[in-house]
Structure 1
Amino acid sequence: MQLTKRWCLFACCLWAGVAQAALPSSLQEALTKAQLPLDSVAIVVQPLNGEPPLISHNQTKALNPASVMKVVTTYAALEALTPAYRWKTEVYKNGPVNQGVLDGDLIIKGYGDPALNNAELWRLLQQVQQQGIKHIKGNLVLDGSIYTAEVSQRPILDDEPWRAYNVNPYALLLNGGHTSFRFGVAKEGSKPVVNITQEFELPQIKVVNAMQVSKGACGDWRNNLRYGVSTTSEGATVTFSGTLPEQCDERYLELNVLSQQQYAVSTFKKLWAQLGGRLDGQALAAALPASAHLVTTWWSAPLDEVIRDINKWSNNVMARQLMLTIGMETGLAPVDESSSALMLKEVLRKRGLSFPELVLENGSGLSRIERISAEHLAQLLVTAYQRPVMPVLMASLPILGLDGTLKKRLPEAPSQGMAYLKTGSLEGVSSIAGYVQDTQGKRYVVVMLVNHSQASASRAIQDGLIKAVIEGR
């Protein structure tokens, strides 16, 4: 993002005013111009060499950090589970197998793998067939009983319940629980038309395309797109209307239009059939029977890979399942979010991080009640920097001007690539926190939390602060 002349001036003059930890006058002026009261903002700029903070404003005030809370969850998970941790998904049979025919049920038991995708499920089902099962005469049973029922029934935070960021946890979460719709402009004769496809097509999802092609550049294409979803016990119909500018290349929208169980069942049926398999019975949810025998186990990618998706792309449901995993691995059965939050706090306490003001609802920041202070968020980042898991945590954060949610922010030299930061935004919340290196090689922890109806106006101020730290001015 290009800084305006005003923010460039702010960035250039900031460093002269930070000899003390108080908020510099130039920063105060920038906040005032953005109509952000000083008591709605908390900022900490802390050198990592042990020196006193350069800025420490409202540092003890508990504020909503939005998705920056994922830093707390992912750090605690790295400490509690280790970077090498892997989730398992088990497949059982409940009956004898004779000449490829299972005379009974096939049971899939999930343990909350947040990253299980269609390609991995295909490989898991291929393993099942390699164990001699091609024809299931009984039912397909999905066992998601490691989570309490309440986990998947949390209220939706906003007025877009179908958006992928509102997906609730599910012990057999597949593909993040959402369908990716691809939009593009194609030619139908001489007339341009909008083409809409599912990236992984399921027959249970019907698409009604009422979109038109408009003139001009792509711009903020989402403002001109509207959709409606109607659901039944058999599937869903998604109606798209509005316009797509002719200069758009491929664009995507992720929606969770099927229930988590519907999505998993529909995907299983499609992949099982593609592999030449047959299912005679129904699909149902039930706990693993004691009489069942293990057929095969799928192991996920290690945690050090999974948290990159969580932090770089701010994946809410993956973060929520990560916090639930902390609870699960301490022996909670079935596991819920409130008990898992207590276990997460205990992990932090054992690392000397006792935060009385910390409020965890689901660990993702997709919450109106989660809270932490800038001081304690900075303390966590400083502690993490000194721990063996530091390289993994830092590598999971978006890189300034290069990838993730920071790809378009400060992409010019000398700022590009000089910071690893997690962003967070909700209506009335804008935050950023992580590690910044200046042009002399000195590293800092930078935290800025804003809770106000005009919070979105703080983004340019965040960029100015980061730029000032990088340039040492």
Structure 2
Amino acid sequence: MQQTRTATPHRRNVWAMVAMLSLAAVAPHLSHARPETRTQAARTQAVPHHTPGDLGQLPPEVDAALQRAKVPRDAFHVMVVEASGHAAPRLSHQAQVPVNPASLMKLATTTAALDLLGPAFVWRTPVFVDGPVRDGVLQGNIYMRGSGDPRLGVERVWLLMRRLQGLGIQKIQGDIVLDRSAFEVPPRDAASFDGEPLRPYNAAPDALLLNFKSLLIQFVPDRAANVARVHVEPPMAGVQFPTTVPLSAGDCNDYRTSLRADWTDATRPRFAGNFPAVCGEKMWPIAYSAPQQFAGRAVLGMWQQLGGQLSGQVREGTVPNGLQPAFTVDSPTLAEVIRDINKFSNNVMAQQVFLTLSQQQRGVGSFEASRDVMQRWWRERVGGDVPVFDNGSGLSREERISAQGLARLLQTAWASASMPELMSSLPITGLDGTLKRSKAQFSAHLKTGSLRDVAGIAGFVDGPNGKRWVLVAVLHHANANAARPALDAMVDWVAQQP
């Protein structure tokens, strides 16, 4: 069932800003898969094995871009092949070498999810009321049980609270209990990957992931008062934010540094600097410095903002056996979710989907179990060498896949019934998502990948006369990001192939 978006256009843009920072158990064997899955498997069996070794020469424009960036040819991994899979590759260069794909690994996660869960899959967050309601007072607890919804943002939590009030509840004479038992995720230091714990892309997955565990801090200059007014979403119970920060006459090159934010005390964030007036209104998405406290403080803060009262506390726990939900909040469909994942390369949303693959089979999702699901799916549906999966998002130093493997994956996706959903989730060169600033002259739908020493693209390029090509190109070198013009040159070369 299609889900109607409740966010206003402004809020939808904010969601994109943050992003840039239950069916039955899935059958373990194709013989038990739904009919359309068996049909897809039969179609993908026609995809040939790619020619071993290199084939063809790198285009001169690409060679020149590599030389300018001082990146050797053997650090560039490329596969160009027809999407339909009925011919040998047009170009294969270092394509059999497994490399770290960065966010290109999201293609594997989202393609597998579309195949195993279906594009209409939704995550359901049931809410339980345990006790009688008299004169607006609930004599008992509220339970919220997460199922891994990747897009349980402020707007939808606010509507959840309104539905509670619609049941006649104004005061809870008990606790609000958050049930996270659908995922088993080990504790993780948000700074462990790159030393940037306050970047939303480093948020850890959670069965009850509220607003990416992130705040949206809005700065609005008031020149008459010579201050910028500060507004924070969601409201956080027990956290005292500054309401204003002084304006300055400086430029707006790096307003975040000018603010000199101090997050040492998670309950009393401070801005020791100022905000440049020329910046105008700014919205700063930032991960909360005490992520384990985020859900509890946000839930209580929103409940209180709506006039609700709570006698007890917000705590973790599990729903009592036999208790039936009062109502359920459904997520947008998987097809909508993967659009945010791939267009804006959202890491934590990809990890939520990755964990959901094993949660749907085993009742509890874990990284280890989801790796097993992905490996089995790859053998049955894609074939060839099985990649090294870690968390499914590419925010990893461990994940490995070859350009050839990614090309086979995209050919499998092209032959599947879910091809339109995957295609529409990919950024378009020069138009949107992470490819909005692409300098490529021709049209293509491509996922991007970027880490400190990795830059890549993978997806579909429009060729002459309606032909579609699969292009995978990954730079794996210390100067990878300086060689991005080579990626744009590859797109333009592929688009002109007869």
TM-score, normalisation: structure 1: 0.86
Q: Give the whole-Å Cα distance in 2 for the aligned partners of 1:306 and 1:240.
A: 38
Does the alignment pair 1:319 with 2:350?
yes
3-state SS in 2 of match to 1:450 = strand
Work out whether 1:51 is the aligned partner of 2:87: yes
Aligned amino acid, residue 393 of structure 2: S
Task: Tell me, yes or no, if structure 1 residue 31 matches structure 2 residue 69.
Answer: no
Distance 1:458 1:224, change over 3 A: farther
- The Cα shift of 1:464 comes to 1.4
Q: In structure 2, what is the Cα distance between the partners aligned to 1:242 and 1:90?
A: 43
1:147-195 CA distance string (max 9 Å, x none) = 2240656763111111101100111111121012234544135x5x555
1:71-129 CA distance string (max 9 Å, x none): 11111110111000000111113333334322221111111101011211122222223
Give, in whole Å, the separation in 2 of the partners of 1:110 and 1:396.
25
Q: Does 1:158 align with 2:205?
A: no
* Aligned partner (choices 104, 114, 117) of residue 140 of structure 2: 104
Letter in 1 for 2:419: M
1:394 partner SS: helix
Pick closer, same or farther for the CA change 1:222–1:455 going to 2, 3 Å: farther
- The reply to whether residue 447 of structure 1 matches residue 468 of structure 2 is no
Q: Is the 2:236–2:300 contact (alpha carbons within 8 Å) kept by the matching residues of 1?
A: no
Stretches of structure 1 that go unaligned for 5 or more consecutive residues are: 1-18
2:150 equivalent to 1:125: no
Identity %: 37
- Structure 2 contact 457–474 (Cα < 8 Å) conserved: yes
SS of aligned partner of 2:315: strand
Residue 422 of structure 2 aligns to a residue whose secondary structure is: helix
Q: Structure 1 residues 154, 230: CA separation in 2 closer, same or farther (over 3 Å shift)?
A: closer
1:319 deviation in Å?
0.4
Whether the aligned pair in 2 keeps the contact of 1:236 and 1:257 (CA below 8 Å) is no
Verify the 8 A CA contact 2:234 2:302 in the aligned structure 1: no
Question: What secondary structure, in the 3-state scheme, does the structure 1 residue paired with 2:92 have?
Answer: strand
Q: Which amino acid aligns with 2:397?
A: R
Q: What number of residue pairs does the alignment pair up?
A: 443
What is the Cα deviation at residue 284 of structure 1?
0.9
Pairing 1:72–2:101 present? no
Q: Which residue of 1 aligns with 2:301?
A: 270
Q: 2:236 aligns with which of 197, 202, 206?
A: 202
* Counterpart code for 2:184: T
Distance 1:261 1:468, change over 3 A: same
Given the superposition, is the C-alpha separation of residues 183 and 98 from structure 1 closer, same or farther in structure 2, using an over 3 Å criterion?
closer
* Structure-2 residue corresponding to 1:344: 374
Correspondence for 1:175 = 211
Preserved CA contact (<8 Å) 2:174 2:312: yes
Tell me the equivalent position of 1:135: 171
The letter for the 2-side match of 1:69 is M
The within-5 A match list for 1:278-293 is 278-290=309-321, 292-293=323-324
Counterpart among 57, 71, 75 of residue 22 in structure 1: 57
Question: 1:12 aligns to what?
Answer: none
Aligned twin of 2:77: 42
The equivalences for 1:213-362 within 5 A come to 213-216=248-251, 218=252, 226-232=260-266, 235-239=267-271, 241=273, 244=276, 247-290=278-321, 292-333=323-364, 335-356=365-386, 358-362=387-391
SS in 2 for 1:402: coil
Q: Distance in 1 between matches of 2:171 and 2:229?
A: 37
In structure 2, relative to structure 1, the CA distance for the partners of 1:228 and 1:271 (3 Å cut) is: closer
**Cα deviation per residue 1:195-236 (whole Å; 9 max; x = unaligned)?**
5432444354444576753455x556667665331234xx35
Residue 360 of structure 2 aligns with an amino acid whose one-letter code is: E
- SS of 1:62's partner is coil
For the Cα contact (< 8 Å) 1:170–1:260, is it kept in 2?
no
Cα drift, residue 240 of structure 1? 6.0
- Judged with a 3 Å threshold, the aligned counterparts in structure 2 of structure 1 residues 115 and 405 are, in CA distance, closer, same or farther, namely same
Question: Partner residue of 2:413?
Answer: 384
Is 1:401 paired with 2:433?
A: no
CA deviation string 1:419-450 (max 9, x = no partner): 11111111111111111103543211111111
| Structure 2 Cα separation of the partners of residues 135 and 224 of structure 1 | 42
3-state SS, counterpart of residue 42 of structure 1: strand
Hey, what does 2:122 align to over in structure 1?
86
Distance in 2 between the 1:22 and 1:468 partners? Answer: 12
Question: Which one of the candidate residues 454, 462, 473 is aligned to 1:437?
Answer: 462
Residues 52, 212 of structure 1: alpha-carbon distance in 2 compared, 3 angstrom cutoff: farther
Partner AA of 1:126 in structure 2: R
Contact 1:423/1:433 (<8 A) preserved = yes
Alpha-carbon distance, 1:51 to partner: 2.8
Structure 2 residue identity aligned to 1:311: N
Is contact 1:231–1:257 with CA below 8 Å preserved after alignment?
no
Q: CA contact under 8 A between 2:55 and 2:93: conserved in structure 1? A: no
Residue by residue over 1:384-413, the C-alpha shift from the partner in whole angstroms, topping out at 9 and shown as x without a partner, is: 0111100000101111111111112137xx
Change (3 A) 1:182 1:29: same
Aligned equivalents of 2:314, 2:90: Cα separation in 1: 59
The residue identity in structure 2 corresponding to 1:405 is T
Secondary structure of the equivalent of 1:330? Answer: helix
Unaligned runs of 5+ in 2: 1-53
Decide whether aligned partners of structure 1 residues 198 and 155 sit closer, same or farther in structure 2, where only a CA change above 3 A counts. Answer: closer
In structure 1, C-alpha distance between the alignment counterparts of 2:482 and 2:238, rounded to whole Å: 42
